[in-house]
Each structure stands twice: as structure tokens, then as C-alpha cells.
Amino acid sequence: MGQRVQYERFGGPEVLEVVDVPPLTAPAGGVVVDVRAAGVNPIDGKIRSALRPSGPITGPRGLGSDAAGVVSEVGDGVADWAVGDEVVVRGAHGAYASQLTASTAQLVRKPGAVTWEQAAAIGVPVSTAYQALRSLGVGKGMTLLIHGGSGSVGRAAIQFATRDGATVVATASAGNHDALLALGAIPVEYGPGLVDRLRAAAPQGYDRILDAVGTDEALEASFELVDDRSRIGTIVMGARAAEWGIQAWAGGSPVPLTPQEQAWREEAYGAALDLIARGEFVVEIARTFPLGKAADAQRLVESGHPGGKVILLP
């Protein structure tokens, strides 16, 4: 028997339960993956709590979209994948589990030099950062401000942007400044006087701004720092983006990703895995939990200060 985490009503982390499930069978054109690690993302808790609408619950629901593991069975019509292949699953359904099924289109090969925890950590945050930077048109010679630089999306965005030749200023609490400096960003502390500190950090001004925190302080500072609000993008305040005239990707935005933006998110997996394997991209793992402690893992993520990516180990 395998195990999976599920819930049958909306609520706090306490609604999660771990249940025994029979082994899965590979569908035609797909595979079964034995999960070695699953990423815990803020969106998981928002869906579980109904903070992010997901429709009525009509039966037990799994959760989690980031997973890495080993192919244990292949279905009819699968030619390019074999039992024993180590993979990352894009857009997994029910990643909080010992097994999951996936189409071959969802699979990305995991390099041997990348750990299971690293592989499961890249999905949502790294693909979001990669796509957001390209949607904003961040490039060489630009100055980028990232609000929420110490989160998983912020850390990934810092690394991608600096590799592309941009100067990056990132807001974070003082305790995270050394980590952001190590990634190549100029850290600036939140709080009163933020705009003055941001101007001092980049006297040349800001070409683009990425909001990964969604506070009033961050948005008000952004509006003071750039005249053209189309150069501001958010991943957390999408529901009000049109009202403010800024760009948004997910985060409650009613506007779906374009085909190009979706393609960028898919492209991010291979790009990040290759860089991690070469030791040129850092994925900070805050803590790992066994599958049975999924509720505790979500509580840590919802605290807002996990210090990196939280991972479940089935």
C-alpha cells in the first residue's frame, strides 16, 4: 500500500489526513512515479483553506504540484521513458503522496548531481521567477527591484536576473541580507523610510519591479519609483492588478498565462536543473518533513518565514 495526503473539507492544516491507497497503474501514454520528494508551496495552503477559489469539494482531494521521483511503471505507448528513470514532474496532481501518475509531457529528466530535495524545490517558485522576468523584459544593463527577495521566488529571480546582466535590489528583513548578498543582490530592509533607502541603493533608478510579497508598503513604494506602471509585475496581488495598471501572473489574476508565458515556465525546469547540476544555482532547503507531517509543513510555509523551500519526503 502507498500513502497520500488529502482533505475533504476546507480549513486549516488540521483538515489534512494521511490515508493508505493501493498501488497506482500507469495510464496509456503516461507513467507511475514513486515520489522521493515533494515541494510545499504557499498556493497549496491557499487552495486548502479556500483563500484561492477551487470549486466545491465533491470527494477527497489530494494536493501539491511539485514532485521528483523514479519512474516505476510505464503505460502503453510510452517510448522515451523507462522504469528507473529519475524525473521531475511538472504540474503534478497530488504530489503529497508516495506515488503519482503523470503524462510524459510533464516529465523532465533529473540530473544525477541534483538531489531529490533540490529537484522537488524548483517547480512553482523557479518557474514563476523565470517567467516573470521574461514577461517584464528584464535584461542586461537594467536595474530590477524585487520585493520579497528572501522567498523562494525572490531568490530564484535574483539568480536569473543577475545571470542575465541586471543589477538587482531586493527587499528583505535584516536577517536575510547576508544570504541575498551572496546571491548577488543589494539588500534593503523593509519598514519606514523604504523609498529613500531604495533610491539610495539605486540612484540610477529602476527599470523593472517584481512584487513577490504583496504588501501595501511594497506597492506604494513601487508606484513612487517608476512612472510607467506596466513595468511593475506582481505574483501575489493579481486580483487588483488591472485596477492599478500593473502586470500580474497568477496570484489571483483573472487573466490566464499566455502560451508564451506557459512555455517559459516549462523551459525554466531544464534551465534550473542544468545550473544546479553545475553548481551555479542555489536552492535553499529550509526544512524537510515526513509525509505524515504535511500539516506541520504547511504551517511552517504559512508562517511566512520558512527560510527557504519546505519539502516532504514520502
Q: What share of the chain has pLDDT > 90, as a percent? A: 94
CATH number of the domain located at residue range(s) 126-259 in this protein: 3.90.180.10
Angstrom CA distances, 93 to 1, 12, 54, 62, 107, stand at 19, 20, 14, 7, 13
Give residue 166's pLDDT band: very low, low, confident or very high (50, 70, 90): very high
Which grid cell is 248?
500580474
Angstrom CA distances, 283 to 64, 106, 155, 164, 246, stand at 19, 21, 8, 18, 29
pLDDT at 87 over 90: yes
Mean pLDDT along residues 206-212: 97
Angstrom CA distances, 253 to 168, 234, 245, 249, 267, stand at 25, 9, 13, 6, 22
Q: What was the pLDDT predicted at 200? A: 98
Q: Where are the domains of the chain?
A: 2-122+283-313, 126-259
Please tell me the distance from the alpha carbon of residue 107 to that of residue 33, in angstroms, as a whole number.
Answer: 10
Task: Give residue-wise pLDDT tens across range 252-304.
Answer: 788 899 999 999 999 999 999 999 999 999 999 999 999 999 999 999 999 87
Which pTM value belongs to this model? 0.94
Please tell me the distance from the alpha carbon of residue 82 to that of residue 255, in angstroms, as a whole number.
Answer: 38
Q: What was the pLDDT predicted at 181? A: 97
Q: What share of the chain has pLDDT > 70, as a percent? A: 100
Give residue 306's pLDDT band: very low, low, confident or very high (50, 70, 90): confident
Angstrom CA distances, 82 to 33, 37, 76, 109, 111, stand at 11, 20, 12, 11, 15
Instruction: For strands 208-211 and 186-188, give the pairing.
Output: unpaired
The chain-wide mean pLDDT, for the chain, equals 96
Which grid cell is 263?
512555455
| Kind and range of the H or E run holding 260 | helix 259-277
Please tell me the distance from the alpha carbon of residue 56 to that of residue 67, in angstroms, as a whole number.
Answer: 25
CATH class of 2-122+283-313: alpha beta
Please tell me the distance from the alpha carbon of residue 135 to that of residue 157, in angstroms, as a whole number.
Answer: 12
Angstrom CA distances, 160 to 49, 211, 212, stand at 32, 16, 15
Domains 2-122+283-313 and 126-259 share a fold: yes
Which grid cell is 147?
520585493
Q: What was the pLDDT predicted at 267? A: 96
Q: What was the pLDDT predicted at 266? A: 96
DSSP E strand boundaries for 17-138: 17-21, 30-40, 61-62, 66-74, 86-89, 99-103, 107-109
Q: Is 296 helix (H, G, I), strand (E, B) or coil?
A: helix
Q: What was the pLDDT predicted at 307? A: 78
Give residue 308's pLDDT band: very low, low, confident or very high (50, 70, 90): confident
